[in-house]
Amino acid sequence: MKNILLEFAEEVSKERLESVQRTRQKWVEEGDQLLKWREKLCLSRAFVARETGVDYGRLTRLEHGEPVKEAKLISQVYKLTLEKIETHRALDRLLESIGIRK
């Protein structure tokens, strides 16, 4: 009986470790996507921190895939901010192309 309990505990522990590793990998991938998107837009982390109201250090940890309190919320605010900037730039290009803005 003791061996069965030990085997069960080891299996649960192994599954938990695998789950933590998958989650960590997901954080790293999502952070990398945000970092690349920000860099593609030629934005500094300090600018994004000001625009989102999120602490610079928290954004750094998020981009590096490190644990961040309220990561889902911060990630969504980050994404919406980058989308807003992309949309404004696209609108400016469109208006310039039809001669409304210079």
For 90, counting Cβ atoms within 10 Å of its Cβ (0-12 exposed, 13-18 middle, 19+ buried), the class is exposed
Chain centroid offset of residue 55 CA: 14
Write out the residue range of the structural domain in which residue 77 sits. Answer: 2-97
Q: For 75-87, what is each residue's pLDDT tens digit?
A: 999 999 999 999 9
Q: How many structural domains does the chain have?
A: 1
In a domain, 57, yes or no: yes
What are 53-58's contacts with CB under 8 Å, separation 24+? 53/77, 54/78
Per-residue pLDDT, 52: 97
What's this model's pTM, rounded to 2 decimal places?
A: 0.79
25 pLDDT band (50/70/90 cuts)?
very high
- CATH number of the domain bearing residue 79: 1.10.260
